[in-house]
Chains A and B, each alone.
Chain A
Amino acid sequence: MPNKKIDDEEKVLKKEKTWVEKKVLAKNVQNVDETLTNKKDESTKIKETSKQNDFKDILKKELPKIKEKKALPKNKVNKELPKTKAKEKKLLPKIKEKNILSNELSEEQKDLKLLDRIKEFFKRNPDKTSSLDENIEQSDYLPEYYDLPYRYNETVVKILAQTPKRLFIYWDIADSDIEKYRKAFGEDFFEKTYPVLLVHNEELNYTYEIPINDFANSWYIDIKDSKNKYTVQLGRKFKEYPKFVKETQQIIQEENINLQNDYIEIVSSNTLEVPNDHVLFENLNQYVLYRNVKTKEENKKDITTLVNGIAKVYNVYDLYKIIYKDEMNNVMFDLNNPGSAGNPSSSMTSSRFL
């Protein structure tokens, strides 16, 4: 019992000590912060202030005529009317003139007449909660509308990896290049050829062709080998084997057109290494390389010395079967795809707000 009492007291003292140390740490951080702040010289302070604070203020200085834009707080309205009155003044003489000359009013004049009628209505009905002068909500910000361009008129092909076994490819051919090919091969060039994608695996050194069509500007393709580097060429193939006259061959040379028999290379893509999709049991050797991340020193350790309780480790798979034994019992777990097993963050049951 006395020993337990001493142990308990010791625990309390240790806890107190830990938190006293933390308070000292926080104080030190505060002191360092203050020292750093005091040490900054004026020029640095001014530079930082002008950088951070309001690049909007800097812009405003460039724009003396820009009026102050205020954000609309919730549930409040902007009490200023648009420049109707000023407009009204300018237009009034014209309106009168117009009325004398014709019974037809312009759109603008109709709006002004409507405005007058509405104002009149609220003057006669002051009990109505909405008043034209008070209820017009008008943002000071510019209205905007954007649409994405259909194309950028450039010759390009890019590849992205959707999964270890599926690529996404997008492409385009610039108008200038379209003209170039038509000039070389005739106006019907795009009718007598068809578009293809040549998929090349750099590691295993094989290439295959995927015919596409001229209605598409992107494509998904399945590939055989994960964790390899791929490039893709966008090209065109002649439907019938071509024979070229001398003038055409001259243009081909001048325009640097890459023609190989019946195939023309239009453009090549970026080189992309697709992700790996399995445990690389075969890649772990007898010796495992370690690095001290502080000193950068490296050393190799025999794999048999790294694992306790197993006499001989022939391969890491045996070890994984032990350390993942609970997961192996879970039908959702697949050592070949553990990533999909436990994280619904990006699924329909996402834990995110979005």
Chain B
Amino acid sequence: MKNIKGYVSFILHAHLPYIHHPESKDYLEEEWLFEAISECYIPLLLNFQKLEEEKVDFRLTMTMTPPLLNMLDNKLLQERYIEYLEKHIELCEKETERTTYDERCNKLSYYYLDRYKNDLHIYKDVYKCNLITGFKHFQDIGVLEIITCGATHGYFPILYVNEKTVRAQIAIGVNCYKKYFGKQPRGIWLPECGYVPEADKYLREFGIEYVITETHGVLYADPTPIYGNYAPIVSSDNIVAFARDIESSQQVWSSINGYPGDYNYREFYRDIGYDAPYDYIKPYIATNGVRVNTGIKYHRITGKDCEKDYYDVQWAKDSAERQAGHFLNCRTAQIENLSSYMHVPPIVVCPYDAELYGHWWYEGPYWLYILFKKIYYDECNFKLITPSEYIDNFPNIQVSTPCRSSWGANGYSEVWLNQTNDYAHRHLHKAGDRMCELAWLYPNEGDTLRRQALNQCARELVLAQSSDWLFIITNGTMVEYAHKAIKDHIGRFTKLYYQIKKDKIDAEYLYDIAQKDDIFPEIDYMIYY
């Protein structure tokens, strides 16, 4: 019988911005979703399934953000993902012939062929193109708690200049969750862990009980939390805040000595999209001929600044198993130390981007599987828990107001507010004010066309508010796309705004953008009233 002295809570934040372009097949950004499904979501589901079959009891919390849910549910994107897989299978079949020059490489090409064929079977035949039901199953049997997020990942510390826009982000997020999971979400992943106390009353209004913050979101709370970030705190509006643990985050995430840097793991930057001969790979890269990642990678990290050796699946699994043991031992020691001082069991909160597991860290989902098995079977002084369970079991919580914070670089708003992207905020604020004005001018609109136009305005506004565009601009990745996304959504919103006010709605234009930006079919603009 284990002597449980504390708890560990894994929280995976699965999010992608809403990328949907029925008008064109050339948007590379659409492949983010396809890569995430193949490398992250399907592997996670398969590993959860293995744990279920092996009767390993585990607990995991996972955000599935509204844009991700809408994309997973989108028929066009489902079809395009199947085409993506079919193309990859075709490429893998060619690879099995091209790589006969090396036995190890050839073996890997068959590995990828099997993997993509399996993905296609799992996606089409097992889940019938609906991965949401897959995750819902694990929630229904009690091992997974799915939580919600802001509608389009709008960053609250900047948006709350107009509080109604924050309220709308929460309302739409909760409604979207209820649509797909048939119940009230208990927790929310604040976009970018961006906490402001002003949002608490709206979280409470829509039934949210807890949020996840960055470490200093709790550590810098007022008054100081007696147990640091090892116990949650509760605000005056009764919202419980759990904060990220530093040590476990660094072990997984550190670019210097984190787990994903193990030399046996797959090297992300050696992809046949860049390595294979150009004429051969051209049909499988970007349509404009730019080389991009295909997901087929034959090398392992091997070391720093050295020639890369071929990847070995078993060696990688061995490393994952070793690191799972290391993580388990570290948490055991950590909780042993903490529990000796605390009057409540400590909770070590481990939040990560879900896409870390599988996309950046290819072996991540397997590592999680092994770790959960070890926690269940091996000697350790803790159990896995969800934040909801912790609240239910230990409801006496210190009252303290969390600190305004985020999990962005340097802990505040620099990533989403700096000289590369600060131009956007006056437009987002203005659009937010105008949306409230429209709701006030046309309450409970009876005319069908005008009501649809008002709802479409709400869609364009929330799409413009996505923190992803600002993040991308700061990081300098797909900057042009992000700039264009802000312009398009603000532009469409503004054009419709004037058309509504002048009572000259262009029905054809409205229909056109409703096809392109069709997120949240059930949205009601009256949330801005």
Chain A positions within 8 Å of B, measured between CB atoms, are 15-16, 18-19, 22-23, 25-26, 29-30, 33, 36, 51-56, 58-63, 66, 69, 71-75, 139-142, 144, 146-149, 152, 158, 160-164, 168, 170, 172, 218, 220, 227, 270, 273-281, 283-285, 288-296, 298, 303, 305-310, 316, 319-320, 322-324, 326-327, 330, 332-333, 335, 337-354
Q: List, sorted by A's number, 19 A–B pairs whose CB atoms are closer than 8 Å.
A: A18-B55, A19-B55, A56-B521, A72-B25, A73-B25, A144-B488, A276-B220, A289-B399, A308-B341, A323-B227, A323-B228, A323-B338, A323-B341, A324-B228, A327-B247, A330-B250, A345-B407, A346-B192, A351-B356
Question: Besides the contacts A146-B487, A293-B234, A307-B343, what 7 more A-B pairs have beta carbons closer than 8 Å?
Answer: A25-B141, A51-B521, A51-B522, A158-B425, A280-B223, A295-B395, A339-B411
Q: A147-B491, A291-B234, A337-B216 are in contact. Are A71 and B226 (CB under 8 A)?
A: no
Q: Tell me, rounded to whole Å, the shortest Cβ–Cβ distance linking B423 to chain A.
A: 7
Determine the distance from Cα of A261 to Cα of B408 in the docked complex, in whole angstroms.
45
- Return the contact of B412 from the options A22, A218, A275 (Cβ within 8 A): A275
B80 contacts the other chain (Cβ, under 8 Å)?
A: yes
Q: Tell me, rounded to whole Å, the shortest Cβ–Cβ distance linking A310 to chain B.
A: 7
Determine the distance from Cα of A293 to Cα of B241 in the docked complex, in whole angstroms.
12
Determine the distance from Cα of A60 to Cα of B361 in the docked complex, in whole angstroms.
45
B254 contacts the other chain (Cβ, under 8 Å)?
A: yes
| Contact indicator A72/B223 (Cβ below 8 Å) | no
| Contact indicator A22/B143 (Cβ below 8 Å) | yes
Determine the distance from Cα of A145 to Cα of B300 in the docked complex, in whole angstroms.
44
Determine the distance from Cα of A237 to Cα of B298 in the docked complex, in whole angstroms.
67
Determine the distance from Cα of A324 to Cα of B142 in the docked complex, in whole angstroms.
33
B164 contacts the other chain (Cβ, under 8 Å)?
A: no
- Return the contact of A71 from the options B22, B406, B410, B413 (Cβ within 8 A): B22
| Contact indicator B244/A343 (Cβ below 8 Å) | yes
Q: A342-B215, A351-B353 are in contact. Are A69 and B423 (CB under 8 A)?
A: no
A residues in contact with B356, CB < 8 Å: 351
B391 contacts the other chain (Cβ, under 8 Å)?
A: yes
Q: Tell me, rounded to whole Å, the shortest Cβ–Cβ distance linking B13 to chain A.
A: 9
Determine the distance from Cα of A316 to Cα of B80 in the docked complex, in whole angstroms.
56
Chain B 363-407 near chain A by CB (<8 Å), digits 1 or 0: 000000000000000000000000000010001111100011111
| Contact indicator B216/A338 (Cβ below 8 Å) | yes
Nearest A residue to B410 by beta-carbon distance? A340
Q: A52-B522, A339-B411 are in contact. Are A148 and B490 (CB under 8 A)?
A: yes
B115 contacts the other chain (Cβ, under 8 Å)?
A: no
Q: Tell me, rounded to whole Å, the shortest Cβ–Cβ distance linking B288 to chain A.
A: 14
A residues in contact with B253, CB < 8 Å: 342-345, 351
| Contact indicator A66/B36 (Cβ below 8 Å) | no
B residues in contact with A36, CB < 8 Å: 182
- Return the contact of B471 from the options A15, A62, A351, A354 (Cβ within 8 A): A354
B515 contacts the other chain (Cβ, under 8 Å)?
A: yes
| Contact indicator A308/B340 (Cβ below 8 Å) | yes
| Contact indicator B79/A73 (Cβ below 8 Å) | yes
| Contact indicator B228/A320 (Cβ below 8 Å) | yes
In B453-485, the 8 Å CB interface with A consists of: 455, 468, 471-472, 474-475, 477-478
Q: How many A-B residue pairs have CB under 8 A?
A: 326
Q: A73-B83, A316-B226 are in contact. Are A292 and B396 (CB under 8 A)?
A: yes
Q: A293-B395, A319-B226, A342-B254 are in contact. Are A163 and B404 (CB under 8 A)?
A: no
Q: Tell me, rounded to whole Å, the shortest Cβ–Cβ distance linking B33 to chain A.
A: 9
B342 contacts the other chain (Cβ, under 8 Å)?
A: yes
Of B42-50, B119-127, B309-317, B414-422, the segment with at least 4 beta carbons within 8 Å of chain A is: B414-422
| Contact indicator A288/B398 (Cβ below 8 Å) | yes
B441 contacts the other chain (Cβ, under 8 Å)?
A: no
| Contact indicator B219/A338 (Cβ below 8 Å) | yes
- Which of A288, A290, A307, A339 lies at the interface centre, i.e. has the most chain B CB atoms within 10 A of its CB? A339
Determine the distance from Cα of A279 to Cα of B429 in the docked complex, in whole angstroms.
32
A residues in contact with B439, CB < 8 Å: none
A residues in contact with B404, CB < 8 Å: 161, 273-276
Chain B positions within 8 Å of A, measured between CB atoms, are 16-17, 22-25, 32, 35-36, 52, 55, 57, 76, 79-80, 83-84, 137, 140-143, 157-158, 161, 179, 182, 192, 209, 214-217, 219-224, 226-228, 230, 234, 238, 240, 244, 246-247, 249-250, 253-255, 334, 337-338, 340-343, 352-353, 355-356, 359-361, 391, 395-399, 403-415, 417-419, 422-427, 429-430, 448-449, 452, 455, 468, 471-472, 474-475, 477-478, 486-488, 490-492, 494-495, 507-516, 518, 521-522
Determine the distance from Cα of A285 to Cα of B223 in the docked complex, in whole angstroms.
8
Determine the distance from Cα of A350 to Cα of B192 in the docked complex, in whole angstroms.
13
| Contact indicator A141/B143 (Cβ below 8 Å) | no
B residues in contact with A337, CB < 8 Å: 216, 410-411
| Contact indicator B137/A55 (Cβ below 8 Å) | no
| Contact indicator A345/B353 (Cβ below 8 Å) | yes
Q: Tell me, rounded to whole Å, the shortest Cβ–Cβ distance linking A57 to chain B.
A: 10
B residues in contact with A146, CB < 8 Å: 487-488, 490-492, 495
Complex A-B, nearest 8 residue pairs according to Cβ-Cβ distance, in ascending order: A146-B491, A339-B411, A71-B22, A141-B23, A275-B404, A346-B408, A351-B356, A342-B249
Nearest B residue to A351 by beta-carbon distance? B356
B residues in contact with A291, CB < 8 Å: 234, 238, 396-397, 399
A residues in contact with B342, CB < 8 Å: 307-308
Q: A55-B452, A163-B412 are in contact. Are A293 and B246 (CB under 8 A)?
A: no
A residues in contact with B425, CB < 8 Å: 158, 160, 168, 170
Determine the distance from Cα of A293 to Cα of B509 in the docked complex, in whole angstroms.
50
B residues in contact with A149, CB < 8 Å: 427, 494
B residues in contact with A354, CB < 8 Å: 17, 32, 468, 471-472, 475, 477-478
B residues in contact with A73, CB < 8 Å: 25, 79-80, 83
| Contact indicator B223/A303 (Cβ below 8 Å) | no
Determine the distance from Cα of A240 to Cα of B514 in the docked complex, in whole angstroms.
57
Determine the distance from Cα of A333 to Cα of B215 in the docked complex, in whole angstroms.
12
B residues in contact with A333, CB < 8 Å: 246
Determine the distance from Cα of A272 to Cα of B395 in the docked complex, in whole angstroms.
32
Determine the distance from Cα of A292 to Cα of B23 in the docked complex, in whole angstroms.
53
Determine the distance from Cα of A170 to Cα of B426 in the docked complex, in whole angstroms.
7
A residues in contact with B474, CB < 8 Å: 346
A residues in contact with B17, CB < 8 Å: 354
Determine the distance from Cα of A306 to Cα of B23 in the docked complex, in whole angstroms.
62
Q: A33-B182, A162-B414, A280-B222 are in contact. Are A339 and B158 (CB under 8 A)?
A: no
- Return the contact of B409 from the options A172, A270, A296, A347 (Cβ within 8 A): A347
Q: Tell me, rounded to whole Å, the shortest Cβ–Cβ distance linking A28 to chain B.
A: 9
A residues in contact with B142, CB < 8 Å: 22, 25-26
Determine the distance from Cα of A258 to Cα of B35 in the docked complex, in whole angstroms.
59
Q: A59-B510, A162-B418 are in contact. Are A298 and B487 (CB under 8 A)?
A: no
Determine the distance from Cα of A276 to Cα of B221 in the docked complex, in whole angstroms.
8
Determine the distance from Cα of A59 to Cα of B448 in the docked complex, in whole angstroms.
8
| Contact indicator A52/B405 (Cβ below 8 Å) | no
Q: Tell me, rounded to whole Å, the shortest Cβ–Cβ distance linking A229 to chain B.
A: 12
Nearest B residue to A147 by beta-carbon distance? B487
| Contact indicator B449/A62 (Cβ below 8 Å) | yes
B residues in contact with A330, CB < 8 Å: 250
| Contact indicator A22/B141 (Cβ below 8 Å) | yes
A residues in contact with B427, CB < 8 Å: 148-149
Q: Tell me, rounded to whole Å, the shortest Cβ–Cβ distance linking B470 to chain A.
A: 10
A residues in contact with B137, CB < 8 Å: 26
Q: Tell me, rounded to whole Å, the shortest Cβ–Cβ distance linking A40 to chain B.
A: 12
- Which of B23, B429, B490, B522 lies at the interface centre, i.e. has the most chain A CB atoms within 10 A of its CB? B23
| Contact indicator A309/B512 (Cβ below 8 Å) | no
Nearest B residue to A270 by beta-carbon distance? B161
Determine the distance from Cα of A346 to Cα of B226 in the docked complex, in whole angstroms.
29
A residues in contact with B397, CB < 8 Å: 290-293
Q: Tell me, rounded to whole Å, the shortest Cβ–Cβ distance linking B86 to chain A.
A: 10
| Contact indicator A339/B414 (Cβ below 8 Å) | no
